[in-house]
Each structure stands twice: as C-alpha cells, then as structure tokens.
Amino acid sequence: MLSSDAASNWPVPTVHSPNIGAVRLAAGLLQGMVLYLLYQAVKDKAWPATEPLLSGPLLLVWLIVPVIFISSLGVLNRRQLIIWIPAAAAVLAALGVYDVWRAASLNAAPYAANNKSVHLSSQLIFVSTVGFFIAQSLIMAAAGEKRRIASYPAYFETAWKQFVQLAFSGLFVGVVWLVLLLGSELFMLIKLDFLRKLINESWFVIPVIAFAFSCAMHITDVRPAIVRGIRTLLLVLMSWILPVAVLVIGGFLLSLPFTGLEPLWDTRSATGVLLGAAALLIVLINAAFQDGAPDVAAARVVQGSVRLAALLLVPIVVIAMYALGLRVGDYGWTTSRILAAACLIVASLYASGYACAALRPARLGAISGTNIANAFVVLVMLLVLFSPLGDPARLSVANQMARLEAGKVPVDKFDFTYLRFEGERYGQAALEKLRASAQGKDAQTVRDRIAEVQKLKGRGPRPEDFMARPAPVRLSAKARVWPKGSQLPASFLQTDLNLLAGSPYPACLRGEQGDCDIVLVDLTADGNPEIVMLSALPDANAVVVGETKPGQWRALGTLPSSLAACGPLRKALLDGQYNLVPPAISELQVAGTRLAVRPRWEPEVFECKDEAR
C-alpha cells in the first residue's frame, strides 16, 4: 500500500558531532589518494600491482569500505564501527584473494607480473557493492533500533535513504565533472589550457571524484528531508507503473495456452527474460507496499495490482524453472545457469511469500517478513557463490566432466572452449587431466581438441548456439519466389537459420505471417543463383545470401533498404527489369589478394518515384 509517514518518522539516532563532516571528507580524500596510488602502480607495473593477490583485494577494499565508513558515521557508535569496518574489509579481502586466485593461469604463479588473467573481476565488484549495500542497511537499521532484527519500517527507511544517497552522490559527481569540462572549454577560448590538462591527470581526477562523492554523501545525510521527498516521489510514480506491468505480464501468461511454450524455448533466453519480469514485479510491488503501513488514501487500482502481481509471480517463476531445467537437461550446468538457478531460488522465495500474503483477505503484512528473510538469504547466497563453497566455475566444470565421462555428450560435441575460457583454474585443470588420461579411440581427438583450444585467444560462439534447436527454413504462405515458377534450392531449404545470425532475414522464412519476396539472381556469375530477400514494411530490408560451399548458405551482404520500401523499384526487380553492372569502384588485387573499398556510409543512389510525388 502507499505509505503513510510511519517510515519517515522512524528515529535514526545520530551522534551529534561537528567533526562528522570533516571526517567524512577526509575519508573521501584518503580513498581517492589510495585509489590513485593503486592505479599508478598498475600503470607503472610497480608494487603492489606486481602482486595481484595483494593489489586485487586492496582495490576491492578501498572501493567499498570507505563508502561504508562514511555512511556509518553518525549512526554506529565507536565500538560498532571498530567491529563492523574491519569485518567488512576482511570479507572483501578474502573474496578478492579468491577471485584473483581462481582467474590466474594454472601454470603460472598468480603473482607473476606478466600474468594478464589475474585482475579483479568486474562481476565481483558489482556483487560486492550490492551485497554490502544490503548488509549495511541491515546493520544500520538494527543499530538504530538497538536490536538484532529491526522492524520493517526501519529497514525500509534505511535502505531507501542509502539508495537515494548513493544515486544522488553519483549524480553530484557527474555534475561536478561537467562543470570542470565546461570550465576547461571556457579557458580554451582564451588560449589557457591549464584546466584541460589538469582534468586529464589521474592524480587530480581520482581524488576529486572520491572527494566529491563523500561531500555529496554528507550533504544528503544532514538534509534528510531532501532524501525523503525524492524517495516518496519516486515510489509513488513507480507504484503507478505496477498496473501496467500487471496488465502486460498477465496478458503474456494468458496467451501461453494459445501459443504454447515452444516459441518461448526457441528463443534460448527464456529464463533470463522471465527472471527480469519477476524482478520487475518484485520491485514494483515493494514500491507500492513501501513500509507496509495501511493507507486508506491508496488508490484501489494500486492495491488490487499488488495482489495480482504477487500471484503472477508464481507462474512466471515456475515457467522460468522449467526453461532452465530443459537447458540443464540438454547441456548440463554452466556458470550462467548456476547463477540463474541461484536467482530462481531467491525468486521462488519471493513468489511463495508474496502469494501467501496476497491470498489473505486482510493486510499484506507477510510481504515485510518475506523481504527481511530474503535479504539474509541473498547475503548467504552471494557469499556461497563467490567463495570456493559454491563457485559456479568449479561446479559447472565438475558437471561437464561428469557428462563427458558418462557418455552423455560425445567428444566431437563437447565444449572444450568452455573449460578453457569460463572454467577458470578448474577448467584448465580439467583440460590437463583430460590430456593426461585420454584413452581409447577418442584419445587422439581429445588431445587435438585441447591443443586447438589452448591456441585460441578468445572464446567464439558456443557450439550449442548452432546445434541447439535448429531453426529450419519454413516458408509462410505469403512468401513469394521470383521469377515466377522458380523454386528455392533444396540446400537452402535445409539451412539452419541460426547460421544466418546477424542478417535481418524476413520473418516469412520462419513460418511467421508476413509478406516477403525472394528473388533468385546470379550476382556472382558462377551459374548458381544467389538469393535476394526483400521483407515488407515497416521493417523493410534487402539481404543477399549465397551458397559459399556446397550446402552452406551464408549472408553475403545487403542492398539499400530503400529497394524494399520503394514500390516501383521493387516491382521492376520482381518483373526481371534489371541488369548486372560492374561496381562503380573497382577492387584492388595486391599480390593475389583482392581488396574491396568499404564505403563509410550507404548512399541513396536513387530516388523513389512514389516519394518524389
């Protein structure tokens, strides 16, 4: 329900000290100086950058802990700060050490200066930020009420206050930087470039960003009315999006009995999209629920939407689980699927708790209990996933190896590149084990495949992207082949459309309803026709595909999209009123190699008569 002012009246005890502002600014400046020194060490390849097991954790600690310290001042007392800040630093350092260690090459020491695979992952930085945002909210709310588990209004007030503080502190830093950029341009008008040079110096940029951020954190903390007003406006606006989301997602679910689930599985991204829909509903439900206080002024449409959205979560999560189960059953566990499974566990807890609350005729008070419990579940889940206990790389490598050993996947279809590039140290160890223990008729094949992937510098497309659920050509009733009476080559009709990825082939090739014209034209003068595919408005385009090898059709290029959109020109092509002419710009042949001139833009070389009228 839309909140009353219960949360806004929640008392956050503040340590009244005139020095808090100075301490916060000093902490921000110190953070900026340390981050600059770490950056410079990486740039100069100097210590501690030469010791990634030290520099990685240091970076993670100094990115997050100073912000925690600044946020805690005025709420936590000295004893609580002495316990919480070192504990947070220790957890971050441990996570950083493990992240660097797992990413290091198996055959190189993780502290080797020339080891380029040992940098701290951006994924860990993001997850650590989210995790400590949750932990900080839980701790500050509990400290404010002086008990281990605070009331839901306290958690609500603290979490949203921190969110708004962080968001507007980031905005403040951006505005400060815009002012500096504008100032540099103003001085350049009078031929003074000192400010432009200054804002390009890392010793200036990094400390200024950290200092400005700490300054904004302090300003938003001592002006709580600003934060509260922004929060209230934001949540009210978001709550009115909930009815729209319920209508859209409800319509999607009601359509499934008529369309079936097959189109959903064909996307191969159903789990991610459904998880996104579930996350949207959870956020909007909480925007409307707020601190859980009843409000008779809340619009009935919003109240009803909260209950409907809570019920819609259940089928969304169930379908997502089924979609993930299909992928795991076909191809086993991967890092992304393990992370998706973890998200689904959390989503299922939200769905069950919210559904129970929605089915009660009285207030939706169970939502608050679900939110508090899930906050702790998420923290535990993050610690498990980013530690050796539940490292997705370790678990997925073990699963893929078990599938290979059990014969569930043949050697020629096994994804060795996954072990090489996504299995981290565990994948590299698995490759070494396979190389050493390969026996039988497939032994040489295994060694050859391992040797191939060891030479690769990056991961290409996944084999499953091409082998999973082939998308054959299925001409719709409105697909027309030209010249009249012609038939498409049999090899093209057997083409997997996944292999034409990146080319905007018309929907009529997938059996969907839509007009399209398919013209056979021998553009290469080799006796075998290429295929010009013209789709209909509003997505008019002209794609050319050809048979590069016997039975292998690939996209060769495109023609100006205006060809498909211009009626008279399109009709002339379909009627055979065209000639093949040499290109306006010839190709260069240098030492037997043909080099084509690539235009910087696609000029419109004709004017459609319909448009000229």
Section 551-570 average pLDDT: 76
Element (H, E) at 554: strand 552-559
At residue 570, the pLDDT reads: 81
pLDDT at 539 over 50: yes
- In the predicted model, is pLDDT for residue 194 greater than 90? yes
499 by DSSP, 3-state: which?
A: helix
Work out the pLDDT band at 513, boundaries 50, 70, 90: low
d(CA 509, CA 473): 5
Give the range among 102-111, 123-132, 217-226, 388-397 with minimum mean pLDDT: 102-111
> Which percentage of the chain shows pLDDT scores above 70?
84
Q: What pLDDT, on the 0 to 100 scale, is given for residue 3?
A: 46
pLDDT at position 391 over 70: yes
Higher pLDDT, 591 or 107: 591
The CA-CA-CA angle for residues 205, 207, 213, to 5°, reads 100
Higher pLDDT, 115 or 448: 448
Asked whether residue 292 carries a pLDDT value surpassing 80, the answer given is no
Sequence-distant (≥ 6) Cβ neighbours of residue 328 within 8 angstroms: 337
Helix-helix angle 424-437:443-455, to 10 degrees: 140
Q: How far apart are CA 175 and CA 157, in angstroms?
A: 27
Cα distance between residue 324 and residue 341, in whole Å: 8
Nearest to 120 by CA among 99, 104, 105, 106: 99
Chain-wide mean pLDDT for the chain? 84
For 315-329, 398-412, 509-523, which range has the lowest pLDDT when averaged over its residues?
Answer: 509-523
What's the pLDDT at 212? 96
> Which pLDDT band, with edges at 50, 70 and 90, does 206 fall under?
very high
Does 238 have pLDDT greater than 60? yes
Number of helices (H) and strands (E), helices first, in the chain?
Answer: 23, 7
- Per-residue pLDDT of 20-79, as tens digits, reads 999 999 999 999 999 999 999 999 989 998 899 999 999 999 999 999 999 999 899 999
Helix, strand, or coil here: 548?
strand
Which comes out higher in pLDDT, residue 481 or 1? 481
- Give the strand order in the sheet containing 516-521: 479-482, 516-521, 530-535, 542-549, 552-559
Phi, psi of 516 (to 5 degrees): -160, 155
Question: Which pair of structure tokens corresponds to residue 100?
Answer: 């660097």
Contacts of 327 (CB under 8 A, 6+ apart): 268, 271, 337
pLDDT of 605 higher than 60 = no
Going by C-alpha positions, the residue among 494, 535, 504, 495 that lies closest to residue 518 is 535
Pairing of strands 516-521, 530-535: antiparallel
Do the beta carbons of residue 20 and residue 73 sit within 8 Å?
yes
Select the highest-mean-pLDDT range: 275-284, 292-301, 365-374, 476-485: 275-284
Distance (Å) of CA 474 to CA 470, 507, 510, 511, 533: 12, 10, 5, 5, 14
pLDDT the model gives residue 348 = 97
Q: Which of 248-262, 318-332, 341-355, 482-496 has the lowest mean pLDDT?
A: 482-496
Q: What is the pLDDT of residues 473-509, one digit of tens each?
A: 666 667 788 888 888 888 777 776 655 554 556 667 7
Residue 290 tokens, joined: 């707020």
Please give the pLDDT value at position 272: 93
Q: Note the pLDDT tens digit of each residue in 407-446.
A: 898 888 888 989 988 999 999 999 999 988 888 788 888 8
E runs forming strands in 394-478: none
Q: Are 574 and 517 in contact (CB under 8 A)?
A: yes
* Residue 209 in this model has a pLDDT that exceeds 50: yes
286-290, 392-396, 584-588, 603-607, range with the lowest pLDDT = 603-607
The number of beta carbons lying within 10 Å of the beta carbon of residue 474 is 13
CA dihedral 260, 261, 263, 267 (to 10 degrees): 170
DSSP class of 76: B
Q: What local confidence, expressed as pLDDT, does residue 436 receive? A: 87
Q: In angstroms, rounded to a whole number, what is the distance separating the alpha carbons of residues 83 and 81?
A: 5
Overall pTM > 0.95: no
**Tens digits of per-residue pLDDT, 152-165?**
999 999 999 999 99
